[in-house]
Structure 1
Amino acid sequence: MNLFDLSGKVALITGATHGLGLAMAEGIGSAGAELAITSTTPSKLDEALEYYRSKGFKAEGYLFDVTNQTEAAKQVALIEEKHGKIDILVNNAGIIKRVLAIDMPVEDFRQVIDVDLVGPFIMSQLVAKGMITRKSGKIINICSMMSELGRDNVSAYAAAKGGLKMLTRNLATEWAKHNIQVNGIGPGYFATSQTKPIRVDGNPFNEFIINRTPTGRWGNPEDLAGTAIFLSSEASNFVNGQIIYVDGGILATIGKPSNE
């Protein structure tokens, strides 16, 4: 089990104040890593830090927008100074705007691309400099099933996540020689506060997801913890440029098998 031990490691996880980001950070913290989490909302950051510390994790918070290159550079330098290094970067911060493509303002499209694709590029570029010097590092990009599939209302999000998938593969190719592994996690449909309104009996989308997923349920946030730990640890040292889809089997099938 030492392969999965993250003791002595420092993990920078963007947007880790709630939902899937919090679940992955909790998993990485439970494996022994020191946490540096980011947010753009002071109250959410304080609440998350209180939660992590109540679990016994060593955690610090940093307020900045990952799309602001100047501010991000200052904060990454501060994190490296305070924690000594950054061993693991999880590019989790992201947004989605559910608008039909025909109606979507261009500025909204650009904003989604900026947060979901340019932000991870900025953070990876900044953090990789120290990783290259140390000849060691793990970068995990949070992709999506929309990296593979189309769907109405999410054209900007799908474009960004598809781009993030290819950014993952290109950074892995460039930085592998420095012993840096760059991989992605593609979550399926998870039970979070954002999906709570549609996860009710009788809601057509709720029934669709349950029937479309071979596992027959929504994912629980903690279902992502194991994959996050694996990609952060020495167990994944020869895994590079891959996207691991944690989706209950959705992408493996054209439909949930019948009971017959």
Structure 2
Amino acid sequence: MTNDTVIKEVAGKVAIVTGAASGIGRAVVELLRERGAKVVAEDVNPTVQDLACDGVAPLVADITVDGSAEAAVTLAEERFGALDILVNNAGRILYKELIELSREEWDWQMQTNVTGAFLHSREAQKAMMGRRSGAIVNIASYASFFAFPGISAYAASKGALAQLTRTQALEAIPHGIRANAIGVGDVVTNILDHFREDGRAFLAEHGGKAPIGRAADPREIAEIVAFLASERASFMVGAVVMADGGMSVPVG
């Protein structure tokens, strides 16, 4: 395989990326576009419109609301003629111990991390089935399998996303559609900004606890997304690829 093949690994493909305004989502949009894909960039934050260009169609939408997934798929098909890739990246996190959680906070956590991914996966699979090809990549977490105090709702949501990935993978592969996930560790993004001013610094510091000794840059995760979305990962079905700097490796 030549370097040019790798660089153009998603050339001619059409993708939807949720949570595209910043962080991992924005890095994924930029990398897929660099490598030849056309992208619907979806986010509830209107700043996603800053990504608009030839080959990137922004969509301001709440992924948890009925009709948003359908709108994203329709935009991909009408603007770019098809849908080949879905990246369920949108996510949020709540730090609060279980006994302090309200029902509203629990629902708030689940809606984006699980329900939004379900709705978009369902509609994307419907669109891909007619072409008998496609790739779905879910941004899960090392918290899909491991936990620490204060993230019960988040860990539950990411565990559900991992299982959603595996189940859909089995249902979709007879139609030529692969579903996989990434077990992401600490990445320096704005995901904590809604409840602490030092969110990026905290993620960088917490990432230092991983064996690798640091948090990830969003581009590092985007590289794995591009691989899983491409034909280079053609034999990968229902995998949760850990990209957490060794955080999930048991220490003897």
Same-fold call, TM > 0.5? yes
Report Cα offsets for 1:74-102 as digits up to 9, x if no partner: 34223312211110000011121212211
Q: Aligned runs of 1:15-164 on 2, under 5 Å?
A: 15-42=19-46, 44-47=47-50, 49=51, 53=53, 58-164=55-161
- 2: distance between equivalents of 1:231 and 1:237? 8
8 Å CA contact 1:65–1:72 kept in 2: the answer is no
2:186 equivalent to 1:197: no
Given the alignment, which residue of 14, 18, 30 partners 1:14?
Answer: 18
Identity percentage of aligned residues: 34
2:248 is paired with a residue whose SS is helix
Structure 1, 187-196 or 23-32: larger mean CA deviation: 187-196
1:142 is paired with a residue whose SS is strand
Whichever of the two has the greater Rg, that structure is 1
- 2: distance between equivalents of 1:198 and 1:76? 33
What is the aligned residue count?
244
Q: CA deviation at 1:150?
A: 1.5
2:67 is paired with a residue whose SS is helix
Q: CA deviation at 1:217?
A: 1.4
Given the alignment, which residue of 164, 168, 190 partners 2:165?
Answer: 168
Q: CA deviation at 1:12?
A: 0.5
8 Å CA contact 2:187–2:207 kept in 1: the answer is no
Distance change (3 Å), C-alpha of 1:207 and 1:192 = closer
Distance change (3 Å), C-alpha of 1:92 and 1:194 = closer
Q: CA deviation at 1:199?
A: 6.2
- 2: distance between equivalents of 1:70 and 1:223? 32
- 1: distance between equivalents of 2:26 and 2:171? 29
- 2: distance between equivalents of 1:182 and 1:10? 16
TM-score by length of 1: 0.87
8 Å CA contact 1:172–1:182 kept in 2: the answer is yes
8 Å CA contact 2:21–2:45 kept in 1: the answer is no
Q: CA deviation at 1:243?
A: 0.6
Q: CA deviation at 1:194?
A: 4.5
Report Cα offsets for 1:171-209 as digits up to 9, x if no partner: 000111111100001111122245682665xx8x86554
8 Å CA contact 1:142–1:185 kept in 2: the answer is yes
Report Cα offsets for 1:15-47 as digits up to 9, x if no partner: 1110111112222222111111001122x1123
Superposition CA RMSD, Å? 2.1
8 Å CA contact 1:186–1:245 kept in 2: the answer is yes
